[in-house]
Amino acid sequence: MDAALADAPVTAQQVLRSVFGYGDFRGQQQAIVEHVSGGGDALVLMPTGGGKSLCYQVPAIVRHARGQGVAVVVSPLIALMHDQVGALAELGVHAAFLNSTLEGEDARRVERELLAGRLVLLYAAPERILTPRFLAMLDSLHGRGRLSLFAIDEAHCVSQWGHDFREEYLGLSVLHERYAGVPRLALTATADAHTRADIRQRLQLQDARLFVASFDRPNIRYTIVEKDDARQQLLRFIRDEHEGPDGLDSGIVYCQTRRKVEETAAWLVAQGLPALPYHAGLDAGLRRRNQDRFLREEGLVMVATIAFGMGIDKPDVRFVAHLDLPKNIEGYYQETGRAGRDGLPANAWMAYGLADVVNQRRMIDDSEAEEDFKRLQRGKLDALLALAEAHDCRRVRLLAYFGEDESGTAGDPGSPIHAERPRGDANEASAGARCGNCGNCDNCLSPPATWDATEAARKALSCIYRFQQHSGFGFGAGHLIDVLRGKRTDKVLQRGHEQLSTFGIGADIAETAWRGVLRQLIALGHVRSVGEYNTLELAPGAREVLRGGVPIHLRVPAALPPRARKAGRGTLRAGSGKPPPLPLDDAGLARFAALKAWRAEIAREHNLPAYIVFHDATLAEMARERPATLDALAAVAGVGTKKLEAYGPEILRVLAPLA
């Protein structure tokens, strides 16, 4: 055990304070830590950014200090292992990793330390754990009572239902069979009942206690806009919300395809924004370099497919933007959850349009999967579309989605989803979410105007019906809108569609509004888009709409009446540009800037991301509190014993002239 714990404070609370420098556990952390430190098994569901790492790191430290040996952390993510071991070293906790990046002698050294019982935590990839060599080492430790716990991170990888399925995870049931009695903790941010049941069964965690944290992330502002010119919209969003006098915020832009990733990144660079591409088709070296740069440097935009993100625990990602619709709410929530892990204000922004709806539906229809699976995927897509089309609070809908999954599960009685809220200062917003106004999503901040599109929807459906009758086949959205608006295009004349009774019946409605109507009809499943040309067909549900039995209300497209949609803007970031994480006066800002400059130097020297040295929030609190002594500095959240010792005097020196 290292210096920080020389006096062996072994309660969880003491570890939290002295090692991590935090005053309080968040939400369920304390219960989890106590349960696991005491030798219990647990299944932990917590949203991204909820604070899962602490749930096994604290028990690992507590149990090691009691002489119970090393905690083995199973993780599929090499970058994450690397960063966590680096961060733990900064905290004075002896940890190491074993994965494919570690060569002969280095790996041998880690193994020696492991066997000697010196390590507090060992991170390893699942395929490594399952090797005979590794299992033999575990046997040896176990025989001597030196195996303190297993933490299985990203436990949803064991489920074939998710897109992160990893074959090797299935082998992890061996841990229970071989080392019964060693506590096991499985953690994931994927909350659905299916995945959870798989984890319990495949990892043999049937008896593990379930902990479900609130999935609310009150510091994230959700905004979903209709696509018009998506890139320009994205650029405006970044410039308005995330660019300031001291540069750009870090952010992630998700696109669906590799090509779009590359095009978007190149376009942003051409607009003067520092953007990097990331997708599975890039050369491995370049991919790693881009990822390292994103983690280490400030103010970069990562444009990526969903290949990027799992295990990226950079806490100061200030925005996550989606240029394409994700597959489902789980994906959306996991991706947007990568914003604002530090608890400071962050944006989740998405642009979506008719083509997204058509594409996602098509991808499901065209896939080779079983019909059951497709039905499940369609249901999930519908839920996401309902979220995107909603005029009411997005947060309420998101939480309800996860809550429904929760109540649908047998065998987990009374797990208190939403019973607690993870972050202090934003509690009000989160409390409000439960009565329908979270105060921190686009719809709550600026309630959208809606129009009654029932009549328009009926007109569109009749026109689709007439096409079928008149020509014997269907047409795409563009042509349909031309006919409805009474445009005599070549195609209209060629087909004789100017003679249809539906020709021109919707001339009073703008094209963007028509697109909204069609998007809604497809989203609701009344219309299907089929074939190579995306021709529109009536679905069985259309009959009810045609009869006028289904009222359809749409938000007024932003482009139609130029409404001031600015109301909500700027409240997150008062004035223009990037504010510090806490309100600071001018002198405070100067101290904050000086501390950041100092941190950048240290980070460079130690070859670590800046946030591993200290989070922005910690520096901001130092700038506000102006500690003049080491004792005062120790009271700042995020300053533990080891960092106080290593950096305390320097920080006081940086602050002294600016007091």
Binding site for ligand ADP (CB under 6 A): 22, 25-26, 29, 46, 48-54, 313, 315, 341-342
What are residue 185's DSSP bridge partners? 42, 151
What are residue 97's DSSP bridge partners? 123
Choose which of 220, 441, 461, 623 interacts with Zn ion (CB under 5 A). Answer: 441
220 binds Zn ion (CB under 5 A): no
In what side-by-side order are the strands of the sheet with 209-212? 95-98, 121-124, 70-74, 147-152, 184-188, 42-45, 209-212
d(CA 49, CA 65): 27
Among 7, 166, 20, CA closest to 88:
20
Q: How far is the CB of 440 from Zn ion (least distance, A)?
A: 6
Q: How far is the CB of 342 from ligand ADP (least distance, A)?
A: 6
Between 441 and 477, CB nearer to Zn ion: 441
342 binds, among Zn ion, ligand ADP, none (CB under 5 to 8 A by kind): ligand ADP
d(CA 615, CA 430): 24
Pairing of strands 250-254, 535-538: unpaired
237 binds, among ligand ADP, Zn ion, none (CB under 5 to 8 A by kind): none
Q: Is residue 603 within 8 Å of residue 613, measured between CB atoms?
A: yes
Report the sign of the C-alpha dihedral through residues 169, 171, 176, 182, in that order.
negative
Q: How far is the CB of 71 from ligand ADP (least distance, A)?
A: 15
Binding-site size, Zn ion (CB under 5 A) = 5
Q: How far is the CB of 469 from ligand ADP (least distance, A)?
A: 55
Q: How far is the CB of 46 from ligand ADP (least distance, A)?
A: 5
Between 393 and 636, CB nearer to Zn ion: 393
Choose which of 120, 253, 261, 444 interacts with Zn ion (CB under 5 A). Answer: 444
Q: Is residue 381 within 8 Å of residue 327, measured between CB atoms?
A: yes
Between 364 and 441, CB nearer to Zn ion: 441
Between 417 and 438, CB nearer to Zn ion: 438
Q: How far is the CB of 313 from ligand ADP (least distance, A)?
A: 4
In what side-by-side order are the strands of the sheet with 346-352? 220-226, 346-352, 317-322, 250-254, 301-304, 275-278
Between 11 and 446, CB nearer to Zn ion: 446
225 binds Zn ion (CB under 5 A): no
Between 223 and 534, CB nearer to Zn ion: 223
Q: How far is the CB of 109 from ligand ADP (least distance, A)?
A: 27
313 binds, among ligand ADP, Zn ion, none (CB under 5 to 8 A by kind): ligand ADP
Task: Name the DSSP class of 441.
Answer: B
Q: Is residue 214 within 8 Å of residue 27, measured between CB atoms?
A: yes
Name which of residues 302 to 361 contact Zn ion (CB under 5 A): none
Between 125 and 438, CB nearer to Zn ion: 438
Q: Is residue 640 within 8 Å of residue 21, measured between CB atoms?
A: yes
Between 187 and 445, CB nearer to ligand ADP: 187
70 binds Zn ion (CB under 5 A): no
Q: How far is the CB of 613 from ligand ADP (least distance, A)?
A: 13
Residue with tokens 């699942």: 126
Which secondary structure element, helix H or strand E, spans residue 376, and what is its range?
A: helix 371-389
d(CA 235, CA 418): 35
Name which of residues 386 to 425 contact Zn ion (CB under 5 A): 393, 395
d(CA 644, CA 632): 11
* Residue spans of alpha helices (H) in 174-283: 174-178, 193-202, 230-242, 258-270
What are residue 187's DSSP bridge partners? 44
Stretch that binds Zn ion, among 300-308, 342-350, 443-451, 540-548 (CB under 5 A): 443-451
d(CA 580, CA 258): 34
Q: Is residue 562 within 8 Å of residue 512, measured between CB atoms?
A: no
554 binds Zn ion (CB under 5 A): no
Q: In a 10 Å sphere around its CB, with 0-12 CB exposed, 13-18 middle and 19+ buried, how is residue 116 labelled?
A: exposed
395 binds, among ligand ADP, Zn ion, none (CB under 5 to 8 A by kind): Zn ion
221 binds Zn ion (CB under 5 A): no
Q: How far is the CB of 234 from Zn ion (least distance, A)?
A: 22
What are residue 452's DSSP bridge partners? 553
Among 271, 380, 275, 272, CA closest to 319:
275
185 binds, among ligand ADP, Zn ion, none (CB under 5 to 8 A by kind): none
d(CA 656, CA 659): 5
Q: How far is the CB of 524 from Zn ion (least distance, A)?
A: 22
216 binds, among Zn ion, ligand ADP, none (CB under 5 to 8 A by kind): none
Between 22 and 161, CB nearer to ligand ADP: 22
623 binds Zn ion (CB under 5 A): no
Stretch that binds Zn ion, among 40-48, 233-241, 436-444, 460-468 (CB under 5 A): 436-444
Q: How far is the CB of 216 from Zn ion (least distance, A)?
A: 11
Q: How far is the CB of 172 from ligand ADP (least distance, A)?
A: 19
- 253 φψ region: left (φ > 0), alpha (ψ -120 to 50), beta (else): beta
Residue 252's Cβ-side half-sphere holds a number of Cα atoms within 13 Å equal to 32
438 binds, among ligand ADP, Zn ion, none (CB under 5 to 8 A by kind): Zn ion
25 binds, among ligand ADP, Zn ion, none (CB under 5 to 8 A by kind): ligand ADP
393 binds, among ligand ADP, Zn ion, none (CB under 5 to 8 A by kind): Zn ion
Q: How far is the CB of 445 from ligand ADP (least distance, A)?
A: 25
Amino acid at residue number 592: F
53 binds, among ligand ADP, Zn ion, none (CB under 5 to 8 A by kind): ligand ADP
311 binds, among ligand ADP, Zn ion, none (CB under 5 to 8 A by kind): none
Measured in residues, the chain has a length of 659
Between 219 and 305, CB nearer to Zn ion: 219
Question: Three-state DSSP class for 132?
Answer: helix
Stretch that binds Zn ion, among 45-53, 286-294, 444-452, 464-472 (CB under 5 A): 444-452
Between 138 and 224, CB nearer to Zn ion: 224
Report the sign of the C-alpha dihedral through residues 203, 206, 211, 212, in that order.
positive
Among 586, 584, 596, CA closest to 654:
596
d(CA 527, CA 460): 10
441 binds, among Zn ion, ligand ADP, none (CB under 5 to 8 A by kind): Zn ion
Q: Report helix, strand and coil shares of the chain as percent, to nearest 5.
A: 50, 15, 40
The residues binding Zn ion (CB under 5 A) are: 393, 395, 438, 441, 444
